[in-house]
Amino acid sequence: MTATSVQVEAFDKGAASPQERLAAAELIMACYAAAYPEDPPLVQGQVAATLGDHLPDERVLPFMVRRGQQVIGWAKLEFSLTQNLHAAHANIMVHPEHRRAGVGRALAATVEQQARQYGRRLVTFMTSDRVPAAQAFADNLGGEAALPMRQSQLVVGDVSAELLDHWCTRPEADPYQLHVWTTLPEEYLSRAADLMGVMNSAPRGDLDVEDWTITPDMIRGWEAMMAKEGEVCLTLAAEDPATGTLAGYTQLFWHPQRASIAYQGATGVRPEYRGTGLGKWLKAAALRELPTCCPGTHFIRTNNANVNAAMLAINVQMGFLPYAALTEWQIKLD
């Protein structure tokens, strides 16, 4: 297949047949397996069922390249309809056996054209050194490496019990109350949405994006998508009972059909509550909840910006080791 013969098609999730969905899922699984051969495979039915899913205030535009009945290229452009109206995020995958044939370039050109059509002047995307050709591809597209990141992995069985005891031991008369949720209670929903905004203070490097506002509807939308995927989100939050304020939180994500791996999501503490050990307490307490809420987990992976020294230091103390180098790129469209 030559670059000039590559035909990019829009993927209509509503009209796609079960066979087309499974073919697209097979591509995504093949790309993941090539990058992470040691991991349990993605769940084909779950990937196929959730292709193109998004929140009500978002738009997702998926595209594919086929060779016969096989999908050999996949891309999607996603963006908010209410926030960061100048920006969109792209994801491009090419089957390992069909790379260097113009498929990625064709998909990238389509994504750029769609971004322009919808008035977006910035496109961001992520690469990993687990896919060695990805950085060269990003360079060829004219991408700017805006936020270098470190992906780290923790071997759960190697974590020091003494360290967890130390981090979970609070001062006498400590005022904070610890909550453990797999679904956020309605009474805490607005407070949790407000708390999650603390992640706007995380380093963004040179990314040309604005702060995000998290709403209760967004949280419920995420919960609904995770329920459809069969994923568990474990949220721990520390409440200041004197004011009812949620001072900090951490989240872990886990799928029972890929039980050996959990993914560490956000960990954030409000600025006025920092310096009190809440971040360490939340992460250590979450680890102790794993056997109950996420049985069978042997590894935890997390991503941190290289410039996020404070969170990296906590993760290193806990035992996280470097696993991959990630980069968030941006392309500014004229």
Phi-psi region at 178: left, alpha or beta (left = phi > 0; alpha = psi -120 to 50): beta
Q: Name the token pair of 144.
A: 């700017």
Look at residue 3 and tell me whether its pLDDT is greater than 70: no
* pLDDT one-digit tens code per residue, 22-34: 999 999 999 999 9
Q: What is the mean pLDDT of residues 196-202?
A: 96
* pLDDT one-digit tens code per residue, 9-56: 999 988 999 999 999 999 999 999 999 999 999 999 999 999 999 999
Give the whole-number percent of the chain exceeding pLDDT 90: 96
Look at residue 201 and tell me whether its pLDDT is greater than 50: yes
Hey, which residues does 8 pair with through a beta bridge? Answer: 65
At 7, is the secondary structure helix, strand, or coil? coil
Q: What is the mean pLDDT of residues 304-321?
A: 96
Are 3-120 and 152-324 in the same CATH fold? Answer: yes
Look at residue 216 and tell me whether its pLDDT is greater than 50: yes
Q: Which DSSP letter does residue 229 get?
A: H
Per-residue model confidence (pLDDT) at position 13: 87
Q: Hey, CA dihedral for 125, 130, 131, 132, is it positive or negative?
A: positive
- Identify the CATH homologous superfamily for domain 3-120: Gcn5-related N-acetyltransferase (GNAT) (3.40.630.30)
* pLDDT one-digit tens code per residue, 225-274: 999 999 999 999 999 999 999 999 999 999 999 999 999 999 999 999 99
Q: How far is CA 221 from CA 43, 55, 226, 227, in A?
A: 21, 6, 9, 10
At 312, is the secondary structure helix, strand, or coil? helix
Mean of the per-residue pLDDT values of the chain: 96
Instruction: Name the class of domain 152-324.
Output: alpha beta
CA distance 301 to 306: 15
Cβ pair 247, 240 in contact under 8 A: yes
Per-residue model confidence (pLDDT) at position 105: 96
Per-residue model confidence (pLDDT) at position 2: 43
At 258, is the secondary structure helix, strand, or coil? helix
Other beta carbons within 10 angstroms of residue 102's beta carbon come to 19
At 90, is the secondary structure helix, strand, or coil? strand
Amino acid (one-letter) located at 213: T
The domains of the chain are located at 3-120, 152-324
Q: What are phi and psi of 40, to 5 degrees?
A: -65, 145
Q: Residue 334's pLDDT band (boundaries 50, 70, 90)?
A: confident
Per-residue model confidence (pLDDT) at position 1: 37
Per-residue model confidence (pLDDT) at position 4: 54
CA distance 14 to 12: 5
Q: Name the token pair of 321.
A: 């080791």
